[in-house]
Amino acid sequence: MKKQPAEVLSPFFVLRLVLDTGERLPCLVDRETWLPARLATRWAMRYRRYRLQSSTLADNLRILGSLYTWAKTRGGFDLDDYLTQGNILTPRQIEAFASTLRANEVAMDADALPLRLVSKALDVSSPPIDAGTYDHFLSVTEQFLLWSLDSMNRGGVSRLSLVQLSAERAQLNYLFWSLRMGARPSQRMKPLEDQEIQRIREAIGPKREGQNPWVCPDSIFSEATRLRNWLMFELALELGIRRGELLKLRLDSLPRGSDDGIRILRHPDDPADSRTNEPAVKTAERVIPASRPLLSALRAYITLPPPLGRVRGKSPYLFVTEKGYPLSLDRANDVIQDIGRHGEVTPLSWHRLRHTWSEQWADRLLSHPNGNDILQYLGGWTNPHSPDHYIQHTVARQAAELVRAYQQTLYAEEKEP
């Protein structure tokens, strides 16, 4: 009889807390005692908490959980006690941890699930870790260990002078630099073609027949989600907003009167947001004009009675469930996958819609004297070089088209008598 693969739960996992202020605060917890990992908690609270979104901080803590797990199961010591006693991880110990990462013996779920330690005794093989993920693990681990060198940060025994502390930091930087793989450039995500967009709209969009112009096909989605799901697709495609921005839209984000601008605002740690895993608005605040047909659809969604319209009175957020609660990140992912399946467009994601919007606007703004700045504002990027990727691809495509057109004239000249 074939032995079934099994997994041993890691001693540490990330617990998400929601404070009275509405702040989402992830915490790395010992599974056995349910006590927080002391140094990881101090690092998160004093060094990372106000620099990162809650979801990013949770990701960082899951990575530190892999370091704590390695120390306990492979190193045979408690990492908190080891570091607060003034000890420093040796190059050999760090290389051993990196080797464990490369072999993917410490795995991490995509969601906020506990870390898992795969048991080698059960002959469970796992694919090698992706180079980008591996380098990301090392980067977070390096930041934590650099922070922990200073006893003023971590507390406990101090054994290093200022000169020694500087030397240890330099050595740690060099060691982690030598361990990195160097991630390959990511492949370009293919934007949606016009035929694919049309196919999706025909599959899920309102038919605009009869007295009610907002009746969507009844063969897909439930009656209470048809208009909402189609509207989410159209908003993401027309405005180019991220998934988190889409889910963070509130009723007061919509224009009033003759105004046509939809406000993309940051609402971090909002007490009115009942979601444990709060969506994040990672881009800059901005106002994006929306088309009249889109504004008309939004007006129908918020004014029509359920089940076609939005459930009122339970949440200030625009997109809600059948019971009136804010739509979760996981459910939003299910929605876009269902849309792709019904429209026969795969793979489909919210990021692919934003990528499609970015390439379309890069093409429109290429010849504009202030095109890069306009694209940066509309996309919400804070780094002025972020739109360069889309501009460069548009330039490359237009250059190829010019070369092909020129080559065709050469062949035409050869055919002339």
Q: Which residues of the chain have pLDDT under 70?
A: 1-8, 105-128, 183-186, 209-210, 412-417
pLDDT of residue 98: 93
Query: What is the C-alpha to C-alpha distance for residues 40 and 20, in angstroms, rounded to an integer?
Result: 22
Query: What is the C-alpha to C-alpha distance for residues 3 and 316, in angstroms, rounded to an integer?
Result: 52
- Contact criterion met (CB below 8 Å) for 247 and 279: yes
The fold of 194-360 is hpI Integrase; Chain A (1.10.443)
Angstrom CA distances, 300 to 117, 248, 313, 322, stand at 50, 19, 16, 16
pLDDT of residue 50: 77
Q: Which of 222, 234, 200, 248 is nearest to 308 (CA)?
A: 222
- Contact criterion met (CB below 8 Å) for 207 and 350: no
Domain assignments of the chain as residue spans, ordered by start: 8-179, 194-360
pLDDT tens for 103-158 read 876 544 433 333 343 333 334 455 667 888 889 999 999 999 999 999 888 888 88
Take residue 30 and report the two structure tokens written for it. 């010992």
- Contact criterion met (CB below 8 Å) for 73 and 117: yes
pLDDT of residue 247: 95
pLDDT of residue 280: 81
pLDDT tens for 237-260 read 999 999 999 999 999 999 988 888
Residue 242: CB partners within 8 Å, gap ≥ 6?
281, 282, 283, 350, 351, 354, 380
pLDDT of residue 118: 37
Angstrom CA distances, 377 to 108, 243, 264, 282, 362, stand at 35, 18, 11, 14, 12
